[in-house]
Each structure stands twice: as structure tokens, then as C-alpha cells.
Amino acid sequence: MKLTPDDIQQIHSYLAQHGLTTREVRADVLDHICTLLEQESDELDLATAKAFIETTFPPEVIQQIQADTLYYLTLKSKTNMLKLIFTTGYIAICLLILGICFSNYPMGSEFIFYWAPYLSVAGVVIFCFGFLPSLFMYSYQRFLERVKQ
């Protein structure tokens, strides 16, 4: 089947309309569909071609391609974000516990008493400026993904 620019534009609109918003993947899928149709018989009419596209690439498949692309592309950043959340959370809690314990440690030396408040402050700073922002950012990204789906 020979595809006209108008046919290609219609396929493009069909993909965009059903949620394939990532430009690069849309270009790939568009080329894939066009190649598939070109392999078909020359006698294939537009109505049959449309039905063929809707069967091979129903809206749910298109949405799945988009969702999978986003998943794969953001997998690394999500993993890094989770690592940051857990690391900052762990360090902040450790510092806070150490700070509280050292400031009340009956056998503590002057050196420990001197550093105890700094440990607590460092714990609070990491908690407020490391743990909480990364947690909020991660939760916000998850929320946006859910809304888009």
C-alpha cells in the first residue's frame, strides 16, 4: 500500500490522540506502522488499513507503550531518588539519636558534650533540606504519573 502524506498525518494524529506523547517513540511507532502497511498488498484500501491499525495498535497498546517508555526512562532517576531518600533519612535519624544520647550521656567527656548539639543540628538540617525535599519531590512525581494514567 502506498501511503500519502495525508495518510501518514492521520496515523500520527491517531497515535498522539491516544496518548503517545513522547515525540521520539511516536516517530518510531509511526514508521513501524507505515512500514507494516507498505508491506501489505497494494490493493489495501484506507478503511481496511484503518481497521488494521486499530487492531494491531489499539488505544490500550499505545498507552502501554507510552507508560513503558516513561517507566524505563525514569527508572534510573527514581532509583537514585529512593537511594537519596533512604540515605538522608538514615543519616539524619542517626545524627539526631547520637546528638540526643551524647547530650544526656552521664559518663560523657567534655568533647562529646561539646559536639552533641552540632550532631543534632546536622541531623535536623539533613532531615529538613535533604530528606523532606527529596521525599516531597518523589511523591509529587508519583502523583503526576498517576494523574497522567
Radius of gyration of the chain (CA): 28
Phi/psi for 2 (5° steps) reads: -90, 125
CA distances to 21, 60, 84, 109, 132 from 95, in Å: 45, 49, 16, 18, 16
State which of positions 48-67 bind another protein (CB under 8 A).
57, 61, 64-65
Select the residue interacting with another protein from 13, 21, 27, 90 (CB under 8 A).
27
- Determine, following the binding rule CB under 8 A, whether residue 71 of this chain makes contact with another protein: yes
- Determine, following the binding rule CB under 8 A, whether residue 81 of this chain makes contact with another protein: no
* Binding residues for another protein (CB under 8 A): 5, 8-9, 22, 24-25, 27-32, 34-36, 57, 61, 64-65, 68-69, 71-73, 75-76
